[in-house]
Structure 1
């Protein structure tokens, strides 16, 4: 089917437009496409009328080209051919093609130009198509508005999600920063506590307060202080000492730490003071050395940098408190040790100088404790001219052991006035100690030298055996069975032992502190004592018994730390020549 119209005026144009629309409807062109065709054709026809001349509109129903995706379907072709003048001017034909699923020719598609009913029906049909297009347009607008709102909500959600992610990221960064800060603070606290524990162990390891004062700067410089000055009050006495900062004087007077600087330090528990006139350019932290009565002194420190961290200052104050306790204990220990040593020396008598017998004694207190022990030695004459030499050891330490040692020594001298052999004297001492102090025990060895008898008589009660060097240089241990310890709840008669004693012989009496070492027993120590005694010649022992005593002690006491007192008594019988 092909229809053609010549269009010269507005009536021809309207009739052609209406007929084309009706043909499109008759051939099943969808309303939307039909409205587009009519609107596009109407606009083109208006342009043709404006240009003038006779235009030809051809509408043809056919099938689509085989090359198109929808090849074989029905289509409606509309071609508007320009007038002769327009074609000469180069105006191209106007073409449009729309699909028409129902290619059924309609006989009454033409519209008479003078038929008002047909024109009205065509106009109403065009309005219906337009209304349908408008409905479709409204649907699309609503759909667009729905999608726009949906997109807006999605955008809002994305924005909110981004805000939440940003807030979560910021919170995570803050949490990481707080964690790093907490980890750093915990590590610094652990470092300070470790340093405080280690430094406290170093300061309390010594009982010499001079050593503690010396070690304090070594511990603090350079990590926690650039310089350390320790001012002990009782060291200077009436002598003029070095000048001290005013803040140190205030700390000594008030017992509170003071901080002297141009700006407040903000240190907990520390009072602020003006800069020191001695060092106005650097801050000073003056910490008193507290005790229960009054400060021992003041420690003045300068910071390793511009100022101290408050936590470091707290640690320094605590360390100074512990150093003060260590110094106080060391001073008290030294004071009591001096008293104890003075008492111990006072209890040890001077040795006599009997003819034909040389005596030399050494007493060394233990390096631990108050040095008041029960070791003792004594030598004195009996009425018959014999000389009694004794070395004893009361169990335990302290004033009680020293007092008991003094009582035993006094009792022995009293018993010896009545005469009696070493065994008899020890037996009486055993009875005396058992009744006087049932919970105290003692050991002792007694040797008796008589100028008219070339025989040595000796007896021991639970004591290490004497060691005898003969004039020919041989050394032997007098290991005859001794009696039990003095004071044990057992009745005993302690026996005497004798051994020939040639002129030039040397007898060593001693306590177990000289020979006993931990985990070694006493036998190796006795062997070392015998070796040391045998290393001296008779002439040397004859001429310098005191020096020989020192020479014997030197190899036996090579270590400076002693857990027990040491007592040695050398008895040398002089040669006849």
Structure 2
């Protein structure tokens, strides 16, 4: 049986050098972490629109929270833009994955959808042509999306959905609900996919909330429960502005466990003007 060896104690100078080395390494890791966070936030800011269109009787607001509190670049996005005929286009979507490739694919979808929507007035056609264009670039990624087209003259809203989470609606008198619009497959999966269009007239003043699943689904929350939470929020804040409601809805993402990035797009509208 060998006698136990007594570990040698380092000198005070060796211990100090080791401590300085560990401190320097920790500082570098903190700086690298902060650089990654700032890069993710900067890239996401550049990918998302600087502003959203508004018009008399319509407020629009959006919010975005990065995945894992800024550590990853996410593929969630929202968009809003005027169309050549005077209508407004709004979109929200979610690309599979959380990396630079997902962010780049998200940028491709935004650009493609804007370009196609400028020449195609039917949201189902916009979605189908965007889908086929994305398939032509031969990417392994796919994305869910909802696209809306609002005519400010008639207050008619036409929408199409590609595998995306349902919208939440509310009225000024506190009623609220979850849409059950039909839809097609996510973008980038199958060529020739058909996307049915839902048509509605905004004849009651209220709010439409578009969101990604990072707001309503996660390790701590089923998507049905998350959507119902947002529905109750919308009903309880019927008098809030679009900006205030966007903050409230994004806050609901904290109940999911927040492992995914999250996006919210709020449209607060007046009722359609009836002809006299």
TM-score (norm 2): 0.88
The answer to whether the Cα contact below 8 Å between 2:249 and 2:264 also exists between their aligned partners in 1 is no
Matched, 1:433 2:163: no
Q: Count matched residues.
A: 272
Matched, 1:573 2:269: yes
Matched, 1:286 2:29: no
The gaps in structure 2 that reach 5 residues or longer are none
Aligned equivalent of 2:145, options 444, 455, 473: 444
Q: Distance in 2 between matches of 1:328 and 1:375?
A: 30
Query: What does residue 182 of structure 2 align with?
Result: 481
Aligned equivalent of 1:515, options 204, 216, 224: 216
Question: Which structure has the larger Rg over C-alpha atoms?
Answer: 1
The answer to whether the Cα contact below 8 Å between 1:433 and 1:440 also exists between their aligned partners in 2 is no
Bigger RCO (CA 8 Å, 6+ sep): 2
Q: Deviations over 1:257-282 (max 9, x none)?
A: xxxxxxxx9736946xxxxxxxxxxx
Q: Aligned to 2:263, what secondary structure does the other structure show?
A: strand
Query: What does residue 194 of structure 2 align with?
Result: 493
Q: Aligned to 1:385, what secondary structure does the other structure show?
A: coil
Query: What does residue 564 of structure 1 align with?
Result: 260
The answer to whether the Cα contact below 8 Å between 1:357 and 1:571 also exists between their aligned partners in 2 is yes
Shift of 1:419: 3.2
The answer to whether the Cα contact below 8 Å between 1:370 and 1:398 also exists between their aligned partners in 2 is no
Q: Distance in 2 between matches of 1:398 and 1:472?
A: 42
Query: What does residue 329 of structure 1 align with?
Result: 29
Shift of 1:484: 0.5
Aligned equivalent of 2:43, options 333, 343, 347: 343
The answer to whether the Cα contact below 8 Å between 1:470 and 1:502 also exists between their aligned partners in 2 is no
Q: 1:527 to 1:565 in 2, by over 3 A?
A: same
Shift of 1:485: 0.8
Q: Distance in 2 between matches of 1:423 and 1:470?
A: 26
Shift of 1:423: 1.3
Shift of 1:453: 2.0
Q: Aligned to 1:453, what secondary structure does the other structure show?
A: coil
Matched ranges for 1:345-424 at <5 A: 345-349=45-49, 350-367=51-68, 370-424=71-125
The gaps in structure 1 that reach 5 residues or longer are 1-174, 190-264, 272-284, 290-297, 299-319
Q: Aligned to 2:233, what secondary structure does the other structure show?
A: helix
Shift of 1:394: 1.1
Matched ranges for 1:68-83 at <5 A: none
Q: Distance in 2 between matches of 1:359 and 1:469?
A: 15
Q: Distance in 1 between matches of 2:195 and 2:272?
A: 33
The answer to whether the Cα contact below 8 Å between 1:383 and 1:419 also exists between their aligned partners in 2 is no
The answer to whether the Cα contact below 8 Å between 1:456 and 1:499 also exists between their aligned partners in 2 is yes
Query: What does residue 549 of structure 1 align with?
Result: 246
Shift of 1:470: 2.6
The answer to whether the Cα contact below 8 Å between 2:52 and 2:81 also exists between their aligned partners in 1 is yes
Aligned equivalent of 1:267, options 10, 13, 19: 10
Report the RMSD for the aligned CA atoms in angstroms.
2.7
Aligned equivalent of 1:470, options 166, 171, 176: 171
Q: Distance in 2 between matches of 1:556 and 1:395?
A: 18
> Would you tell me which structure has more helix in proportion to its own residues?
1
Shift of 1:380: 0.7
Q: Distance in 1 between matches of 2:187 and 2:246?
A: 28
Q: Distance in 2 between matches of 1:266 and 1:522?
A: 57
The answer to whether the Cα contact below 8 Å between 2:156 and 2:200 also exists between their aligned partners in 1 is yes
Q: Aligned to 1:367, what secondary structure does the other structure show?
A: helix
Q: Distance in 1 between matches of 2:119 and 2:192?
A: 22
Query: What does residue 506 of structure 1 align with?
Result: 207
Q: 1:455 to 1:438 in 2, by over 3 A?
A: same
Q: Deviations over 1:309-337 (max 9, x none)?
A: xxxxxxxxxxx64x654543332121022
